[in-house]
Chain A
């Protein structure tokens, strides 16, 4: 069991806590292969998915994870809630608390929104992605996938390529992978590389590397993680055009050849084919994108169990 009320980010987790989640996820993975995909572990617990941002895979993944553990799962999206009537986040949270929810999974465009909630609710809070801050369950499912494929989390070379500035997935993965002693190469145009990124991890900075060259980033890499290009950013002139972006930071078959022969290619989704990743790469033999999605259910079952069980 995790000795904490909430899962707000990877930054504050210890290696042991992360391993406990991944080991537990492994034992839950089997549940999803059964004919009757359900265990009674969280019967009588109420989980609320409170999503202020559009999301298909994360919300569905949490919903399935909760239901496979026999919890009651309620989905609230911002457009259908009293939030659209002007209610504040804090009042929404207190209302849910008063209904004796055991757990609130929150996705919000404002960094820190889950932290604000956690101070005011008895329910445990799981960060389902906050602004450009963290997306801890994504990093955990990525780690789960890497460990399954590579047999370890240490001493690897991982390239994270794309819009680092606006990516909570990148931040959570940076924290997780450097904790285990894996070298992380961050790669994007300078306009999408935030100030001070090389210093954001407190203890394992020697494992973090920054480059503008995609070739340098993926050279001999064991894992390539592509990030989605966020089209809504185009208006701010972070790069001149999609065509030019793909020329420098698109993952093509030729580029993949620079990586190790057994490289795996990951993407948190949703993908923009032909923008950050070529279709033949996304659907090719190195791609583990769908494994990530299945791992997501097992990892989220583990997180829910470790926070709510017992």
Chain B
């Protein structure tokens, strides 16, 4: 795959590049960053666009194997590249869950066959995600996992979680926690506050998240392990991670677009597309997440792309499953709603996710895989859920006007997505 990405504003905060220039790609690898001499290599005109190292969404649910009516590795991968992502990390709560190397092998090989985006599986911490005994973490690591998590099912047993932190250190993998004390959140379907009380819906208190973040940070310090907080959503959790980082703990955190944009007020009409876990929180929590993104407490933006078939989202609010799609809207929402420099945005979507998951940088280093995300920061567009490449339609952002969009996605030197407007 040979290509010259011509005349874009190339930004790589890791290499301190910010210049209007060209990226030359040869055989799928980056040959050079800098003005390209005339040649007969095909070119992609990036005039007016930002050219960034490939974006990596470290929190998605591809639903394969097991729930292919909601999403597959192929459809999720296609949606990913349309959202500007060259790679995704797939959570293990498939059916059966990714708790052993044969499932990991399946995901890796199916992704190679059918997904235009790279797929890095995350393995389960415990067998069947039951929170009872450790899964075959080492064998899954050999098969290609980049982290471990029982996402959606927090490990409530503190001793077992301590063991997971210690064991994962052998492979220098992050242990990713969905922070929720399941006793405090039992039966809850939205954030506990004025809205849940007014709507008569059972609440999930902020304390359910904060109690586990707090416990895990103590264990992280004790074991000197790498700990990653998934979808941080409360002020208290943001503040605890900030303090832990200042004290030198090896902790990282991600936040989702819905948690930095929407509040629990979005549930007001019992909209099941406003039901996710962690739930949409208060305005003060949203402000804290935005502050955390700005000051570096939060390292990465991830979508928590969670497709569900429309049949399930049509149910009563209490019965509908948690989760929304988000991989096609994450970049547009971040560009529209966050007042950040492009360099910081690229750290959040590309550099830091790579560092957290320890994947070899495929960014703008000569010789590395040519994975690039091209952004048009001035493109006005509206997300149309009916045009989504995902198999599911459960987005609360249908019809939202946005400014700024991923307009081309290049994986291994191949243009896998292009939107010329």
Contact = CB atoms under 8 A, between A and B. Distances in A.
State whether these chains interact: yes
Given A116-B316, A195-B193, A111 B203 contact: no
B197 interface: yes
A196 B200 contact: no
B22 interface: no
Contact of A196 (B193, B314, B317): B193
Interface stretch (A68-76, A129-137, A152-160, A213-221): A129-137
B266 to A, nearest CB: 13
A88 B315 contact: yes
Contacts of B198: 11, 171, 196, 200
Contacts of A110: 316-319
B269 interface: yes
A181 interface: no
Contacts of A200: 194, 197-198
Interface in A168-208: 168, 171, 194-197, 199-200
B199 interface: yes
B200 A132 contact: yes
A89 interface: yes
B200 A131 contact: yes
Contact of B197 (A11, A112, A197): A197
The main secondary structure of chain B at its interface with chain A is loop
Given A110-B319, A111-B318, A195 B199 contact: no
Contact of B270 (A88, A109, A111, A199): A111
A109 B200 CA distance: 10
Given A195-B205, A200-B194, A108 B200 contact: no
A113 interface: yes
B194 A196 contact: yes
B356 to A, nearest CB: 34
Contacts of A197: 197
Interface in B135-161: none
B201 interface: yes
A275 interface: no
B180 interface: no
A260 B110 CA distance: 75
A133 B192 contact: no
Interface string A274-296: 00000000000000000000000
Which of B197, B269, B319 counts the most A-chain CB atoms under 10 A from its CB? B197
Contacts of A109: 318
A115 interface: yes
A90 interface: yes
Contacts of B318: 109-112, 131
A134 to B, nearest CB: 7
Nearest to A133: B200
Given A110-B318, A195-B193, A195-B205, A115 B200 contact: no
Closest 5 CB pairs of A and B: A133-B200, A112-B270, A132-B200, A196-B194, A110-B316
Given A111-B270, A112-B199, A195-B196, 9 more contacts: A110-B316, A110-B317, A111-B201, A116-B317, A131-B200, A132-B201, A133-B201, A195-B197, A200-B197
29 contacts: A11-B198, A88-B314, A89-B315, A89-B316, A108-B316, A110-B319, A111-B199, A111-B201, A111-B317, A112-B199, A112-B201, A112-B316, A115-B269, A116-B270, A116-B316, A116-B317, A131-B201, A132-B200, A134-B200, A194-B196, A194-B197, A195-B193, A195-B203, A195-B205, A196-B193, A196-B194, A196-B198, A197-B197, A200-B194
Interface of B: 192-203, 205, 269-270, 311, 314-319
